[in-house]
Amino acid sequence: MNIKNNFSDNRIDSADNREGLAILGAGQFGEACLNLINQSCTKVLAFGDNSPSLQGTAIRNIPVLSVEQAVAKNPCIILIAVKGTDRAQSLKKQAAEAGFHGSFLLLDDLMNRFDIRKASVIRMAERIKELDIPGDIAELGVFRGELSRELNALFPNRTLHLFDTFEGFDSRDIDREKAGGFSMARENDFSDTSMEAVEKRMPFPETVRFHKGYFPETAEGLENCRFSLVSLDADLYAPTLAGIEFFYPRLLSGGMIVLHDYNSRRFRGAKRAVEAYEAAHGPLLLVPLSDLHGSAVIIRTDSRIL
């Protein structure tokens, strides 16, 4: 990356030829972006954030400052690491008013063009086909069906099971979130969807089976199903744990679970659910991904099934 600007003192020292970069937004997305930056040619100088509770802390030894203090570090580039046009433009304006005249990168623009989780799912599907692993496909936590559509397109001849309330988070799961201090989730979050709207997005709707309601109750009658690929995007502790308990023993050898939010700062219950499962059943073969939501892949390597 070789972006020119008006700053002449944006190097760390005379021996460091890397371009300086500041990240505005020290939340989950900002920290996730840090993992993706090639620090052999780019030096992350600071995070900038308007939250007083974050200012004065550090993320992996990189200080979290006010936006104005981050701009004063004289970066070549500023990465706006928040979602939403209004928030991004507000931070961009704040940085400009603080004297920044360099180049901006907007996370929203990058996310609209690159999707690490979806790219990983495509590669996983290729691997499953190469090894000729049979079994159904499933997704727990569908929302509007963006990934469901991809799964349906990748496996047009396999049954795709879609599990969701299609009415947002259930109060029973919210109670567990509050008790465990896992997130600030609220009842009916992610309720702006419907089963009918998702069905219209499917390229091969004849192979899709909808299971509307509270999981794992909606999995009754599917105990003999076997799976090769599962997307587990339930966000919260209770349904994530229930999803691992149901799907993992039914994965065929070589099958995989894509677990959303494993390293999420917003939904910490997903990782706690993995820890609870491992405490009861032993370690899982789990590979973290570097997407912005902290996903991970769980791989089944033995042939024992229920």
Whether residue 76 is found in the same domain as residue 160 = no
The reply to whether 8 falls in a domain is no
Whether residue 109 is found in the same domain as residue 130 = no
Q: What angle do CA 110, 113, 114 make, to 5 degrees?
A: 80
- Span 201-211, average pLDDT: 98
For the stretch 7-35, pLDDT in tens is: 334 444 445 789 999 999 999 999 999 98
Whether residue 130 is found in the same domain as residue 267 = yes
pLDDT at 295: 96
The CATH number for 206's domain is 3.40.50.150
As a whole number, the mean pLDDT across the chain is 92
Whether residue 99 is found in the same domain as residue 153 = no
Share of residues in the chain with pLDDT > 90 (%): 87
pLDDT at 297: 98
Whether residue 223 is found in the same domain as residue 83 = no
Whether residue 88 is found in the same domain as residue 222 = no
Q: Which of 88, 113, 138 is the last residue of a domain?
A: 113
Whether residue 95 is found in the same domain as residue 38 = yes
pLDDT at 78 over 60: yes
Share of residues in the chain with pLDDT > 70 (%): 94
Whether residue 160 is found in the same domain as residue 257 = yes
pLDDT band at 252 (very low <50, low <70, confident <90, very high): very high
Whether residue 66 is found in the same domain as residue 24 = yes
Range of the structural domain that residue 222 is part of: 116-299
- Span 185-203, average pLDDT: 95
Q: Are 273 and 237 in contact (CB under 8 A)?
A: yes
pLDDT at 304: 66
Whether residue 260 is found in the same domain as residue 271 = yes
pLDDT band at 5 (very low <50, low <70, confident <90, very high): very low
pLDDT at 17: 84
Q: Which of 98, 113, 128 is the last residue of a domain?
A: 113
pLDDT at 305: 63
Distance CA 260, CA 262 (A): 6
Q: Which of 113, 142, 168 is the last residue of a domain?
A: 113
The reply to whether 11 falls in a domain is no
Residue burial 216-242, b: 16+ Cβ < 10 Å; e: rest = bebbeebeebebbbbbbbbbbbbbbbb
Whether residue 279 is found in the same domain as residue 158 = yes
Distance CA 40, CA 187 (A): 44
* Strands, sheet with 19-24, edge to edge from the N-terminal-most edge strand: 58-59, 62-65, 42-48, 19-24, 77-80, 103-106
The reply to whether 207 falls in a domain is yes
- Span 142-168, average pLDDT: 97
- Span 104-133, average pLDDT: 94
pLDDT at 6: 36
The reply to whether 71 falls in a domain is yes
pLDDT at 170 over 50: yes
pLDDT at 302: 81
Whether residue 50 is found in the same domain as residue 129 = no
Q: How many domains does the chain have?
A: 2
pLDDT at 218: 98
- Determine the residue type at 203: P
